[in-house]
Every structure is written in C-alpha cells, then in structure tokens.
Amino acid sequence: MINFYGINKQYGSFQALKNINLHIELGEVVSIIGPSGSGKSTLLRCINGLQKPTGGELVVHSMKIMDPGLKIKRLRRNVGMVLQEPNLYPHMTIIENLILAPVQVAHLSPVVARDLAMHYLNKVGLGDKRDAYPSQLSKGEQQRASIARALVMKPRIMLFDEPTASLEQEMVEEVLAVIRGLAREGLTMVIASNEISFAREVADRIVYMDQGRIIEEGTPADLFNQPKQRRTRQYLCHLQQ
Ligand code: ADP
Ligand code: MG
C-alpha cells in the first residue's frame, strides 16, 4: 500500500530523511516514534505529497510520488491527514467544514455530502455539534471534527501527525478512542506519536526514527520489550522518565 525504497529528503543542505525503506500493507497500522526533529512529520508529508522526496522511489496506493505526471488531487483524495493542531475553518460551522471538500473536490451534491458528513460526525460523537462553530468546541472536539472531516473523503490511508500532542490530558483519550475505532475497522494508518501505551495497543508495527533514519522496526512486543538497538533502548528509557 505504501512503499518507500531508499527515500531521501533534503531541505537545502540538511538531510531530513536518510535512505528510508519502509513497506506498509493494506490494513496495517504503523506507529512512528522518535524524538523531535527525527523526521516523522517529513516522512508523513511525503506520503500525501506535501513534501517531495529528493531521492529514491515512493509508491502510495499504486501512485508513483516522484513521477512528474503524479495526479496530486487523486493522491490527496486517497490519503487523509490529521495534524497536531485542529485546523478547521473558523468562519464555518462544523458541518460546513465537513461538506466543503466532498462538494468542491469530489463534486457530490450538497444533500449527499451532508448525509455523509453527518454519518462521520456521529461516528466521532459530534452529531449534536453540527451547527456549532469551531471556537464553540473544546480542542478535543475540534480534533475529532478534524478526523471526521478527513474521513468524509473516504481515504484509503490516514496519516496522523502527533494528533494528541496539543491536547490537555483529559481530552487525549476521546481522540485516541476515535483512532482506535478506525484501527479496528481495518483502515491503513500511519501515526506519528509518542503515546507509547496507545501505540502498543493499536499498532501492528512500531518504527523508531532518529536523525532521519529508521533505527529499528518491529511488533510492539518486540520493539518495546526487547529493543535490539542501543539507541532504541536509550530512547524508551528516556520516555519512561
Ligand atoms: P519530527 O516530526 O520528527 O519532529 P520533522 O520531519 O518535522 O521531524 O523535521 C526533521 C528535520 O527537518 C528537523 O531538523 C527540521 O528542523 C527539518 N525540517 C523540517 N521541515 C523543514 C523545512 N520545511 N525546511 C527546512 N528544514 C525542515
Ligand atoms: Mg513532527
């Protein structure tokens, strides 16, 4: 579903991704952990074409990302992304935020788009907030609405970039519960997050990155209980402190 073959990414003279080889299967949930600056966001952003790799080959749902003829709209329709900060349009109600892309990008009729939007709002527990503005919602609710907005496009792949890192502790669980539900449904997901207990629970595989490289990958049991690399062990110890 997602295949990185020797991917490099340079920002000027700085190399943010170094020879990334990573293969994610349909329905797999992969959690990427690693310190700030290790390249997690850059890796995710390559998957939906927000960043272009500078070397190697990357294939996402049969689309060659480096291909000059890449249909970026098609890629984005297939790959949803949720960021650390909820980014809803403040001047639109929640339902308006959700129907925007289905109507403008997928050319659904407003009536069909509304039904679809309500389905996903109910799914994240926000059906009763449809006519509220983002500022009237808690940050956890805004983040759940952001997830619903991505889901409305029926993506094949969902990317989450530290989806709970900006939330206060009491709101973290409601957002994780939504992601957990998506994992159960078999959606292919790549989640950058240092919520270790959550990664252990939902991820099929953990990837540990440092300084632009994949240092180690494995099942949660292997990587968390018996890390092979010294750097992985040091990082996990540091997180537990
Ligand atoms: P992470 O998400 O793990 O914190 P990032 O992918 O955001 O890591 O960043 C990896 C490295 O690349 C960092 O050193 C960061 O400063 C650098 N970087 C990220 N985006 C850019 C950019 N647009 N231009 C220049 N450097 C960047
Ligand atoms: Mg990041």
Q: Report if residue 199 sits inside a domain.
A: yes
Q: Report if residue 100 sits inside a domain.
A: no
The rounded distance, in Å, linking the Cα atoms of 215 and 196 is 17
User: In a mutational test of the pocket of ligand 1, which residue from 9, 10, 41 has the highest number of ligand atoms less than 8 Å from its CB?
Assistant: 41
C-alpha neighbours within 13 Å on the C-beta side of residue 57: 7
Q: Report if residue 41 sits inside a domain.
A: yes
In the reported structure, the alpha carbon of residue 137 is separated from the centroid of ligand 1 by a whole-number distance in angstroms of: 30
* pLDDT digits (tens), the chain, 241 positions: 999 999 999 999 999 999 999 999 999 999 999 999 999 999 999 999 999 999 999 999 999 999 999 999 999 999 999 999 999 999 999 999 999 999 998 899 999 999 999 999 999 999 999 999 999 999 999 999 999 999 999 999 999 999 999 999 999 999 999 999 999 999 999 999 988 889 998 999 999 999 999 999 999 999 999 999 999 999 999 887 7
Q: Report if residue 44 sits inside a domain.
A: yes
Q: Report if residue 79 sits inside a domain.
A: yes
The pLDDT score that the predictor gives to residue 240 is 76
Q: What is the 3-state secondary structure (H, E, C) of the chain?
A: CEEEEEEEEEECCEEEEEEEEEEECCCCEEEEECCCCCCHHHHHHHHCCCCCCCEEEEEECCEECCCCCCCHHHHHHHEEEECCCCCCCCCCCHHHHHHHHHHHCCCCCHHHHHHHHHHHHHHCCCHHHCCCCHHHCCHHHHHHHHHHHHHCCCCCEEEEECCCCCCCHHHHHHHHHHHHHHHHHCCEEEEECCCHHHHHHHCCEEEEEECCEEEEEECHHHHHHCCCCHHHHHHHHHHHC
Identify the domain containing residue 7 by its residue range.
2-86+158-240
Q: What pLDDT, in 10s, does the model give residues 102-157?
A: 999 889 999 999 999 999 999 999 999 999 999 999 999 999 999 999 999 999 99
Q: Report if residue 101 sits inside a domain.
A: no
Atom nearest to 17 CA in ligand 1 = 10
In the reported structure, the alpha carbon of residue 45 is separated from the centroid of ligand 2 by a whole-number distance in angstroms of: 10
Number of domains making up the chain: 1
The rounded distance, in Å, linking the Cα atoms of 136 and 126 is 12
Angle at 30 between CA 28 and CA 32, to 5 degrees: 170
User: At 180, which CATH number?
Assistant: 3.40.50.300
Q: For strand 14-24 and strand 188-192, is the pairing parallel, antiparallel, or unpaired?
A: unpaired
pTM of the model: 0.96
The rounded distance, in Å, linking the Cα atoms of 147 and 187 is 13
Q: Report if residue 104 sits inside a domain.
A: no
Q: Report if residue 178 sits inside a domain.
A: yes
Question: Quick check: CB of 45 below 6 Å from ligand 1?
Answer: no
- Token pair of 167, please? 């939330």
